[in-house]
Amino acid sequence: MLRAPRKSDGTYCDGSVVKRCPSEAVETVCRGVDCQASLVARTASCGSATFCYAKSDGSHCDGAYLKTCSDSTQTALLYCGVCSEGTVGVAECGTVRFCATKISGDYCDGDVWKQCDGSSTPRSVLFCEAGCVQWRTGVAGCGQENDGWLSNAPGHQIGATAAAAALPLLLQ
């Protein structure tokens, strides 16, 4: 039985999917853009595979994707839906410096769920496929039907923990 030659270490395109070799682990599925590969650099990405070649270190927008560049190499890729450029090397999913005016907590920036921690940049971001829902200040999440107050909705255990702590006081 003939086997296909093994691919070299790096990333490559399998249709619209970016995979890492030799494990063939899926890194991401491209949305709205083609997966492009650079055979010379043995790298692939949604959008341009050579995007970081001419970019400074930092984060940059390649269409709806936030890409992190270091030494002319892409080190991270995140789909945002909407990506915004700030100063040179500073880009963010949604609105740049969104968290600068927010207290610590979870917030919606369009369809992007952001966890703010008191700094101007979010601690983490996630594009919400079904939309982001803001229930009250500091409490938000991706497409949840309830507000997470007494549920185990991902990212909302703080409300449940506070309720559990308050319950014994209420029963006294």
Q: What is the pLDDT along the chain (172 residues), one digit of tens a residue?
A: 554 555 678 889 999 999 988 888 999 999 999 999 988 778 899 999 999 999 999 999 999 999 999 999 999 999 999 999 999 899 999 999 999 999 999 999 999 999 999 999 999 999 999 999 999 999 999 986 555 443 333 443 333 333 333 333 333 3
Residue type, 70: S
SS3 category, 146: coil
Give the length of the chain.
172
Q: Please tell me the distance from the alpha carbon of residue 131 to that of residue 82, in angstroms, as a whole number.
A: 13
Q: Please tell me the distance from the alpha carbon of residue 44 to that of residue 53, in angstroms, as a whole number.
A: 13
**How is residue 95 written in tokens?**
């609105």
Detail the DSSP E strand segments found in 24-171. 25-29, 35-38, 43-46, 58-62, 65-70, 73-79, 83-85, 91-93, 105-109, 112-116, 124-127, 132-136, 139-142
Give the model's pLDDT for residue 51: 95
Under a CB-based contact definition with an 8 Å cutoff, are residues 49 and 38 in contact?
yes
Q: Please tell me the distance from the alpha carbon of residue 123 to that of residue 84, in angstroms, as a whole number.
A: 17
**How is residue 165 written in tokens?**
């702590």
SS3 category, 157: helix
Under a CB-based contact definition with an 8 Å cutoff, are residues 81 and 132 in contact?
no
3-state helix, strand, coil in the chain (%, to 5): 15, 40, 45
